[in-house]
Each structure stands twice: as structure tokens, then as C-alpha cells.
Amino acid sequence: MKKRVGVLALQGDFHRHIQSLEKLQIPSKAVRWPDDLSDCDALILPGGESTTFMNLMNQTGLTEAICEFGQKKPLMGTCAGLIVLATEVVNNHIDPLGLIDLRVERNAYGRQINSFSEKIQIPSFTDQPKFEAVFIRAPKIIALGKGTEALGFYLDQVVMARNERVLAATFHPELTRDHRIHDFFYREFVERN
């Protein structure tokens, strides 16, 4: 029986992550309250607006619940989800969850109007290492900390990283028809947990 992946559904394009999981025939559910995590084996934190995310997580009790959940189960954060999971955000007053040792800068590539799509390199995808990545008000990974490994690259910048339980991407993999990152998260993190 396949494990279930929850998708944080407070804000952002969570529905597209659920669709990506459905295409891969991975059971999923929307997570809006701490109790929703009880039957989840992993959790995806989607893109959105990081300050709003943190406010809504605090109001619903999910901040503490996700911190606890992430001590034992896999997490994936994309764009704002990466910011929420990082250890340090240099240009914001939020206190991120600190579940992956990353120093990040919000909106590093510019405003919404500066959004772009570009091929990135993911060397571990040996058959086809190029991946079409969509960057929307994307954060930039400034530094990797202890136990954090770079996985994906745009020019000379790290755009995807991991530690033992967390996969983090600065872009939006759910906005393409290429579901390899969701598949990678499931195979390498969820199934092995």
C-alpha cells in the first residue's frame, strides 16, 4: 500500500502539487489543521507568500505540529515552502522552522514581473539531468549548512538541496508537466522512511 503525502493547503498553489501526486498515483490530502497530519507519511509545503504562511501556520497551530512532524517524517518545500523550512532568512523578520540548514534570501530574482522559466541541472537525474524550472518571486539559497547537500543548479547557483528528511527547491516543480521531482521525493524520502 502506498504511503500518503499531505500538502499544506493554507495558501499558494497547493492544488497543483496534489495534481502532480495524482499523476504519479501517490495518495495525497490537503492539510489545513494539525489533526490532518495524523494519517500523512510526508508533507509538501508549497509556494506562496512566506510571511502569510507563517502567520496562518501560527494561527492554526501548524507551526509546532509541522516542526514535530518534520523530526520524524519527510518534508518537501518549494519556493515559500523552502523559506519556511530554512534556518535563516536574511531579508525578512519571520522565524523559519529551521528543519534544513539553509541561509536564504526572499524574492532574490525580483518581483512577480521578473518571473521566468529556465532549464536547470539536476545531476542525479542521470537519464535526463535538465529540468524546466519555473521561478516566481523565487528565493535564493545563499549558503548550505551542515548536513545539507546541493542537488540542483541554475548557472552557478544552488536551486535544490536536501538533508536527511527535507527536500527544498527555490522553484515551482508543480507548474510543469515533468513530475520527476515529486517522484524523486516519494522514492528517495517517503518510501525509505
- For the annotated catalytic residues, the residue numbers are 79, 172, 174
Q: How many angstroms separate the CA atoms of 25 and 15, rounded?
A: 15
Question: What's the longest Cα–Cα distance across the chain?
Answer: 44
Report whether 31 contacts 40 (CB < 8 A): yes
